[in-house]
């Protein structure tokens, strides 16, 4: 093989006019080509990307490298911190012999560094509380988080429509439960007159699902103040992009909650960010770790929604990166939209694994220098195969890349370090207060209370009418039995007649 030709081929493919970040150096066989850098152009980051690979192959560290380099170039990002170690991006890394050796091979010095960080939380973890209202979730995502079937999801959509038409705010889960109670009782006639009959069985199922969701702790991220997605695009005083780290270590056993929240967040960004067109660097880059959770058991309607958002959100200057084990975790229609692909090693333990590897290799450009299917299984930790879109939107040559090390800490933060970041947050005081304004719960509770009071008043009025009716009937009887000649017979008849009248009036007989 002509190595000179190979180096020229790779160098020309990864040379860009605009700003770029260095991911590492190109490798061929066991040889690392010093100073032959693999760069990622900032201009095409809004064309989205994929970071894939088996557990323990370095996906999270690759994410960390990209996020910290984006920050250094003034680009904010949002990252999912599933294991807790991504928060280490807030502190400088430490040199060691292995890192120095790696960077000597790449041809660039290792300079420890850190990034400005905002810690976010969906639960009681320390950090800025992310909340959204039930209305902001919308019927499709709300049905997904409840794991409803098509019929039940249709009923949820109708309930949302009813609340929109009646201008009844749906803020939190107790609001939605109160609406279900109302449309199945006092408001049933009105609701069914407008939207058709409701299935009591389906209503009961939806209510039980909401209770299950509350038991998982999901009620903490439904409410107000709702998180403003513009707070994800902050720049610090030194011109560095703020890395928003969403702490999810306590939600690992409830993946549906955070995956659904992420979809809601994407939808919110798409609907509120202004059009940006082609930009020299993205406004925001979002990294969705454990991305397969977003697509598992997703309905056709939801998949269509995701595909539309991924296609169109790039015009807002936003890039989305999916981080998962194999490319096949991502639906083909979404995968085809991902311009940047970074593939770490995959393991071939079974026939199914080998088929997945073969399919994964077909997602990358054909190379005269590499056998992709063989290379994927032979990659070491901290190595990956890479292809990106150049500034003209053309895929670059496939490059076997020896990755640089993250400049920041590759480990978790201590509790005191977390407290320090949280205490310095400029937005914490706004989002970590609870607001409970008038919404569906209060509005419909008042209606139900008024209806209950009306019913009590009617019952009281009915009880007050009963004695007058009885007294009137008794006066007729007493007049009838006043004749002494028929008094005895009259007593007998009157006794039987009185029983009949009292029975009709609902007072009843003594037994």
How confident is the model over 392-430, as pLDDT tens digits?
Answer: 999 999 999 999 999 999 999 999 999 999 999 999 999
Average pLDDT over residues 17-39: 95
Per DSSP, the three-state class of 317 is coil
Q: What pLDDT, on a 0 to 100 scale, did the predictor assign at position 502? A: 30
Per-residue pLDDT, averaged over 462-472, amounts to 61
State the pLDDT at residue 463: 75
Tokens of 238: 């030194």
Average pLDDT score over the chain? 85
Categorize the per-residue pLDDT at 79 as very low, low, confident or very high, splitting at 50, 70 and 90: very high
Cα–Cα separations (whole angstroms), residue 100 to 10, 31, 63, 298, 404: 25, 17, 20, 45, 10
Give the residue-averaged pLDDT of 223-250: 93
Please check whether residue 447 is in contact with residue 438, taking contact to mean a CB–CB distance below 8 angstroms: no
Given this model, what pLDDT does residue 457 score?
A: 67
Which pLDDT does position 1 carry in this prediction?
A: 57
Six token digits for residue 10: 């790779």
pLDDT in tens, 240-293: 999 999 998 776 667 667 777 888 888 899 989 999 988 899 999 999 988 887
Boundaries of every domain in the chain: 3-131+224-431, 134-220, 481-511
Interior angle at CA 324, CA 144 and CA 411, nearest 5: 110
Is pLDDT larger for residue 449 or for residue 315?
315
How big is the CA angle at 284 (ends 84 and 290), to the nearest 5 degrees?
40
Comparing 36 with 491, which gets the higher pLDDT?
A: 36
What does the pLDDT read at residue 477? Answer: 46
pLDDT (0 to 100) of residue 496:
38
The answer to whether 171 and 434 are in contact (CB under 8 A) is: no
| Predicted local distance difference test score (pLDDT) of residue 505 | 33
Percent of the chain with pLDDT strictly greater than 70:
88
Higher-confidence residue of 150 and 497: namely: 150
Given CATH 2.60.40.1120, say whether it is the number of domain 3-131+224-431.
no
């Amino acid at each position: 093989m002509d190595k000179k030709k190979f180096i020229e081929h790779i160098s020309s493919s990864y040379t860009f006019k605009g700003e770029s970040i260095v991911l590492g150096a190109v490798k061929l066989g066991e040889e690392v080509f010093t100073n032959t850098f693999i760069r990622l152009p900032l201009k095409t980051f809004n064309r989205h990307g994929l970071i894939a690979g088996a557990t323990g192959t370095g996906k999270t560290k690759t994410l960390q490298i990209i996020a910290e380099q984006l920050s250094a170039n003034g680009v904010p990002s949002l990252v999912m911190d599933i294991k807790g170690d991504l928060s280490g991006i807030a502190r400088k890394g430490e040199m060691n012999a292995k890192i120095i050796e790696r960077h000597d091979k790449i041809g660039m010095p290792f300079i420890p560094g850190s990034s400005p960080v905002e810690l976010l939380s969906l639960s009681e973890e320390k950090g800025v509380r992310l909340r959204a209202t039930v209305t902001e979730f919308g019927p499709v995502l709300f049905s997904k988080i409840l794991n409803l079937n098509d019929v039940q999801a249709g009923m949820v959509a109708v309930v949302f429509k009813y609340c929109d038409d009646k201008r009844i705010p749906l803020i939190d889960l107790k609001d939605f439960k109160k609406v279900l109670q109302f449309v199945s009782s006092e408001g049933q006639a009105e609701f069914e007159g407008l939207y058709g009959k409701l299935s009591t069985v389906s209503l009961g199922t939806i209510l039980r699902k909401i209770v299950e969701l509350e038991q998982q702790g999901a009620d903490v991220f439904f409410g107000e103040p709702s998180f403003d997605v513009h707070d994800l695009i902050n720049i610090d005083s030194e011109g560095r992009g703020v890395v928003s780290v969403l702490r999810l270590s306590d939600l690992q056993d409830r993946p549906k909650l955070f995956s659904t929240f992420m979809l809601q967040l994407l939808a919110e960004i798409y609907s509120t960010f202004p059009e940006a067109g082609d930009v020299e660097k993205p406004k925001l880059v979002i990294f969705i770790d454990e991305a397969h959770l977003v697509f598992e058991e997703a309905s056709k309607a939801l998949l269509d929604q995701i595909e539309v958002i991924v296609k169109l959100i790039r015009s807002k200057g936003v890039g989305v990166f999916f981080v998962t084990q194999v490319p096949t975790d991502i639906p083909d229609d979404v995968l085809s939209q991902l311009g940047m692909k970074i593939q770490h090693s995959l393991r071939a333990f079974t026939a199914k694994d080998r088929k997945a590897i073969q399919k994964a290799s077909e997602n990358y450009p054909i190379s005269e220098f590499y056998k992709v299917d063989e290379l994927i299984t032979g990659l070491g930790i901290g190595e990956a195969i890479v292809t990106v879109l150049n500034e003209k939107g053309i895929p670059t040559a496939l490059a076997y890349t020896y990755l640089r090390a993250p400049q920041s800490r590759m480990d978790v933060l201590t509790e005191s370090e977390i407290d320090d970041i949280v205490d310095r947050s400029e937005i914490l005081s706004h989002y970590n207060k609870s607001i409970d304004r008038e919404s569906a719960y209060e509005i419909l509770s008042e209606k139900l209370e008024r209806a209950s009071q009306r019913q009590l008043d009617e019952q009281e009025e009915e009880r007050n009418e009963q004695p007058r009716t009885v007294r009137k009937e008794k006066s007729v009887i007493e007049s009838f039995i006043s004749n002494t000649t028929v008094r005895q017979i009259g007593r007998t008849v009157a006794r039987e007649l009185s029983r009949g009248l009292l029975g009709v009036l609902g007072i009843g007989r003594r037994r």
